[in-house]
């Protein structure tokens, strides 16, 4: 008799969790503590030397966070996860384990504006250099690779433009270059797309968005696919060379297919300190329990709204891969067959001024800089999230002056459409 593999909804509720052994509590408790008592001196020594797993200090690990890490890793099909303070923190810690000063990574031009800013500016302080590629021209990734390249970074569904990345094609380029493919899967979540199935070696998330799903907690996640050979050509010394702070342990040799997650924890999180609060982990865990129900409702509502907008006389265009005429529709059918997500953009014929008026006149929608909430959200990226970019960069990122971004919530779709209708009448 073969062991049954649990379905997605079952994993979303149960993965990583057991009743609390002390109290019998069914929900995962919030272990709101800074540190943990050792059994004895030998126990402490084994924990600090990575000879045993256990809890030392919440900056490095916490039992509430551990359930969240195991659950997201299970949903993504990875070997291990690391929960951190934000999606941006997940990206920094990932790159910290991969890049040394002077190294490069290739990134898709179609990314969240905050990531473009982080890559272009903040990373320069570490000596890490980004080389941009165009997801609409896959060969541009190959041309961007150099001997200094240590990783390739893309989003499965790009924010805000709804670009679907051809993950398999980019994964093949990463494999030929001998570098890991990092995929930000925030907008899709593993309910819609599992990048590891298409060749991703590392998956990162802003847990703040759809995984948490209720707009109440900030968090990030790194998932190790367990697929990359970190000892190849000794290009990743943090994993392939002896670590002096841990008595000469070679992390890849010792921890095998979850060595990257360990490295991010005991080398990067330990010293950079971007720890996730156990309370936030608890709230995000609660959100994940309803992930499949929420994501399907998000997608159903979004398709209805996108179809309605595509027929509106004040709308110049709609970019949503769920629409049959969209340029990314075929990729969406391959990578996200259950739905193309809940975030998309459209252009107003009235341009910048019309976008500002629209976001100023909605009632049901909330005008704010977030996505992935139960509530419907709206923003005009050119005047807000992408304001720090140049005009050319905004256009490249799908955030031109006429662009409005929607994150469609779980309200009744007729109410969502009615609010847009009355606001468009004023724009």
Distance (Å, whole) CA 143 – CA 138: 9
Helical spans, DSSP H, in 324-383:
329-335, 351-361
CATH class of domain segment(s) 8-287: alpha beta
Low-confidence residues in the chain, pLDDT < 70: 1-2, 396-397
Instruction: Report whether 183 contacts 224 (CB < 8 A).
Output: no
Q: What is the pLDDT of residue 1?
A: 43
Q: Select 291-426's CATH number: 3.20.20.120, 3.90.1150.10, 3.50.50.60, 3.20.20.70.
A: 3.90.1150.10
Give the global pTM: 0.95
Residue of 330, 332, 328, 331 lying closest to 319 (CA atoms): 328
Q: What is the pLDDT of residue 56?
A: 95
Q: What is the pLDDT of residue 107?
A: 98
Helix H or strand E segment including 426: helix 413-426
8-287 and 291-426, same CATH topology: no
Break the chain into its structural domains and give their ranges: 8-287, 291-426
Distance (Å, whole) CA 390 – CA 374: 32
Distance (Å, whole) CA 200 – CA 167: 8
Cross-strand pairs, 204: 184, 222
Q: What is the pLDDT of residue 2?
A: 59
Distance (Å, whole) CA 117 – CA 16: 35
Instruction: Report whether 409 contacts 377 (CB < 8 A).
Output: yes
Distance (Å, whole) CA 335 – CA 420: 29
Q: What is the pLDDT of residue 393?
A: 77
Q: What is the pLDDT of residue 33?
A: 97
């Amino acid at each position: 008799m073969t062991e049954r593999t649990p379905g997605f909804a079952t994993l979303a509720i149960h993965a990583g969790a057991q009743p609390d052994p002390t109290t019998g509590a069914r929900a995962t408790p919030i272990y709101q503590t800074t540190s943990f008592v050792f059994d004895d001196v030998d126990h402490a020594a084994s924990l600090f030397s990575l000879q045993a797993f256990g809890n030392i200090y919440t900056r490095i690990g916490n039992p509430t966070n551990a359930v969240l890490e195991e659950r997201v890793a299970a949903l993504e099909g990875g070997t291990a996860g690391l929960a951190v303070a934000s999606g941006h923190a997940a990206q920094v810690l990932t790159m910290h384990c991969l890049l040394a000063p002077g190294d490069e990574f290739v990134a898709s031009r179609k990314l969240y504006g905050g990531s473009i800013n982080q890559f272009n500016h903040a990373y320069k302080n570490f000596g890490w250099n980004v080389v941009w590629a165009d997801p609409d021209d896959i060969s541009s990734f190959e041309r961007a690779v150099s001997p200094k390249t240590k990783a390739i970074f893309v989003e499965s569904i790009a924010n805000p433009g709804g670009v679907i990345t051809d993950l398999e094609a980019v994964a093949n380029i990463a494999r030929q270059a001998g570098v890991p493919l990092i995929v930000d899967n925030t907008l899709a979540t593993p309910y819609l797309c599992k990048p590891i199935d298409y060749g991703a070696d590392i998956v990162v998330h802003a847990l703040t968005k759809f995984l948490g799903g209720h707009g109440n907690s900030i968090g990030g996640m790194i998932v190790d696919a367990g697929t990359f050979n970190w000892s190849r050509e000794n290009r990743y010394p943090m994993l392939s060379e002896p670590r002096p702070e841990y008595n000469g342990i070679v992390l890849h040799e010792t921890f095998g297919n979850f060595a990257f997650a360990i490295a991010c924890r005991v080398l990067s999180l330990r010293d950079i300190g971007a720890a996730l609060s156990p309370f936030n982990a608890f709230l995000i865990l609660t959100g994940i329990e309803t992930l499949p129900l929420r994501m399907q409702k998000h997608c159903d509502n979004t398709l209805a709204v996108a179809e309605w907008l595509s027929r509106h006389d004040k709308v110049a265009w709609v970019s949503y891969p769920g629409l049959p005429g969209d340029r990314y529709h075929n990729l969406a059918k391959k990578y996200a067959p259950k739905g193309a997500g809940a975030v998309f953009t459209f252009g107003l014929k009235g341009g910048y001024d019309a976008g500002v008026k629209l976001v100023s006149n909605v009632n049901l929608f909330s005008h704010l800089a977030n996505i992935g909430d139960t509530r419907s959200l709206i923003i005009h990226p050119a005047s807000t999230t992408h304001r720090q970019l140049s005009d050319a960069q905004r256009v490249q990122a799908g955030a031109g002056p006429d662009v409005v971004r929607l994150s469609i919530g779980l309200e009744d779709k007729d109410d969502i459409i009615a609010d847009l209708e009355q606001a468009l009448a004023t724009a």
